[in-house]
Amino acid sequence: MLSRFPLEILEYILHKLSLKTLVLCTSVCKQWKSIIADPVFISNHIGHTCLLRQWRKIGEEFQFQESYSLLLDNNRFDLVTTFEYPLSDRCNHPTFSQLVGTCNGLVCLYNLGLDFIIWNPTIRKYFLLPVRRLANLSYYGFGFDSRNNDFKVVGLAGNPGYEVAVFSLATRCWKIFTGSRIPSFMLKELLFEKGNSMFKDGLLHWAVMTNKTHENFVLTFDLAEETFGEIMLPECLRARENIVSVLGGGNLLTVIHSASSAYTMYKEDFHIWIMKEYGIVESWTKVYTGFARKLSKPLGFSKRGEVLLHCQRTGKIIAVDEGKKPRKDVEIIVNGEYASLSYHIESLFLLDKSTRDGDIISY
């Protein structure tokens, strides 16, 4: 009976189903599995949400309990579902992972005990990257190379010695760049997590310093060309004494400026700047100032352009408009001491990846 359906009608029906239902449908027959696992079908079947990550200390240093929730990207950020940390059964004790980035439904995490994983929480699969050690002071980023249909993790190791490592999910190998292909830059202390990056239009972005003048600027990396570029910051942010970090999660290139890294512990004023026209230095605009007395930390932007803040005093995430007025219908309860919020697109990526030596794991 199923085989009598015209292929185009069957594909139309499958496109209307939720991602969880589609995963179940892969077990119906070979034809359905072939349609659902097709890369074109996977690329076209996505849903927009936000991924809330929260964690709290439960014991000694670097022992944490973390959880993940999926929220609708609507006016109230309604809860869709929750996820367990995928590596909890592989760790000898509760450990701490850092968010490198999210892209097209995949989440890249750096775990202090197990290095990197690429995880699709919707279909409950993850991939363990081959071990690659960089310098202790390292920046990382995660994004999608649309030209080659490939996800990539990029690591920057600065002073002393320059090294850039690029991992390709398609080849499952690290590629190392050294020498003249790498611009001269210095890394400062990490302000948020291992990521501190933004992925936009095929490019990764980090805030770094020039090696000679010690001025802050935004370093870019083209995932398809595997080449570097530079974007200047507003003149008032370039001096080395300014602490500048890229803030991901929005549609516009965004940086946070603070007088010291203490604001990561909710103890310092901060300022948020956006680049309204990409690549145009004169379009940098300060859109928000947060004050230390309110004990808040910026997490990103809502779809409506509001600043999302985690308020440590109340344990809630609130949405604040440009007039600095919190929206009363948005109060996301955070159960941990710390939180991060990332735009997340539910997808079927990793469903079509074959398993080699057990490196793609279902749980």
| Residue-by-residue DSSP string for 191-253 | SSSS--EEEETTEEEEEEEETTT--EEEEEEETTTTEEEEEEPPGGG-STTSEEEE--SSSS-
Confidence (pLDDT) at 276: 93
pLDDT value, residue 242: 82
Q: Evaluate whether 351 touches 42 at the Cβ level (below 8 Å).
A: yes
- Residue 100: exposure state from Cβ atoms within 10 A (0-12, 13-18, ≥19): buried
Q: What number of other Cβ atoms are within 10 A of residue 239's Cβ?
A: 12
Report the DSSP beta bridge partners of residue 289.
271
∠ Cα 84 52 16 (to 5°): 80
Residue type, 352: D
The Cα–Cα gap between 53 and 67 comes to 6
User: What was the pLDDT predicted at 188?
Assistant: 73
Backbone angles phi, psi at 223, to 5 degrees: -70, -30
Whole-model pTM?
Answer: 0.82
> How much is the pLDDT for 296?
75
Residues β-bridged to residue 167: 153, 174
Confidence (pLDDT) at 82: 84
pLDDT tens digits in sequence order for the chain, 363 residues long = 555 667 777 777 776 666 667 777 777 777 777 777 776 666 565 556 778 887 776 666 556 677 888 887 777 777 777 888 787 666 554 556 788 888 988 999 887 666 788 999 888 889 988 877 676 667 889 999 999 999 999 998 866 567 889 999 999 999 988 777 778 788 876 555 555 789 999 999 999 988 888 899 999 999 999 999 999 999 999 998 888 888 876 778 999 888 765 444 455 678 889 999 999 999 999 988 887 656 677 888 877 778 888 887 788 888 887 666 777 666 777 776 778 878 788 787 887 665 555 578 888
| Location of structure tokens 């310093």 | 209
Q: How far apart are CA 7 and CA 13, in angstroms?
A: 10
Long-range Cβ contact pairs of 60-65 (< 8 A, separation 24 or more): 62/95, 62/96, 62/112, 63/93, 63/94, 63/95, 63/96, 64/94, 64/95, 64/96, 65/94, 65/336
Give CA–CA dist 86/249, Å, rounded. Answer: 23
* Rg of the chain (C-alpha set): 21
pLDDT of residue 346: 77
Question: What is the C-alpha separation between 173 and 251, in angstroms, rounded?
Answer: 30
